[in-house]
């Protein structure tokens, strides 16, 4: 009986460790996927996407539209330079 419990605990712990290796559903302020922007079902509203872009230091965010891959794309300014920006379903913000 004790052996079965120990085995169960080990299996459960290993499963939790495996789950931690997957990419997060939402990027934190300190992480960004190198493959960003990543296509996926984006649940951000336009307002939420704009707020997140602004929180990353961009101003004059405009023209946001969600493309067929679920990525919000638009224009914004940072450091006096206007550029195109995007935000994916994980919250990764990229600029060109």
Percent of the chain with pLDDT over 70: 66
d(CA 91, CA 33): 10
In total, how many domains does the chain have? Answer: 1
Task: State the alpha helices, DSSP H only, in 20-96.
Answer: 46-55
Domain that holds residue 52: 25-95
Which pLDDT does position 37 carry in this prediction?
Answer: 87
Residue 7 lies inside a defined structural domain of this protein: no
Question: What confidence tens digit (pLDDT) does each residue in 43-79 have?
Answer: 899 999 999 999 999 999 999 999 999 999 999 999 9
Residue 18 lies inside a defined structural domain of this protein: no
**Phi and psi at residue 94, to the nearest 5°:** -125, 155
Residue 30 lies inside a defined structural domain of this protein: yes
């Amino acid at each position: 009986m004790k052996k079965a419990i120990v085995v169960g605990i080990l299996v459960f712990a290993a499963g939790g460790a495996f789950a931690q290796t997957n990419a997060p559903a939402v990027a934190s302020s300190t992480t960004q996927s190198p493959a960003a922007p990543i296509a996926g079902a984006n649940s951000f509203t336009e307002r939420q996407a704009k707020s997140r872009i602004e929180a990353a230091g961009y101003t004059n965010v405009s023209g946001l539209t969600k493309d067929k891959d679920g990525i919000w794309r638009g224009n914004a300014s940072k450091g006096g330079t206007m550029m195109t920006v995007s935000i994916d379903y994980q919250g990764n913000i990229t600029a060109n």
